[in-house]
Amino acid sequence: MTTYKVQRLYFRKPGVKRTIKTRLSLAEAQAHCSDPETSSSTCVTARMQRYTAQHGPWFDSYTEER
């Protein structure tokens, strides 16, 4: 079975990827990345806005695990 991982990427830190979740189905990975709280440009909670202020622009993306 193919599994996926979600990684956080930072616009100001090219090449830096932080793994957020692992061993997800495709549907789970897509659902995570569809949440507005998984991108600095669409998040609205105070927690994620503080995260953006600290780390700069970011977004979550998924990729197949190997």
Confidence of residue 3 (pLDDT cuts 50, 70, 90): very high
The token duo for 48 is 């994620």
Measured CA to CA, the distance from residue 20 to residue 36 in angstroms comes to 15
Nearest to 65 by CA among 14, 29, 23: 23
45: confidence class by pLDDT, cuts 50, 70, 90: very high
Residue-level pLDDT at 24? 98
| For residue 29, pLDDT beyond 90 | yes
Long-range CB contacts (within 8 A, 24+) of 12-18: 12/56, 12/57, 13/56
**Mean pLDDT over the full length of the chain:** 96
**Residue-level pLDDT at 66:** 87
State residue 34's pLDDT score. Answer: 97
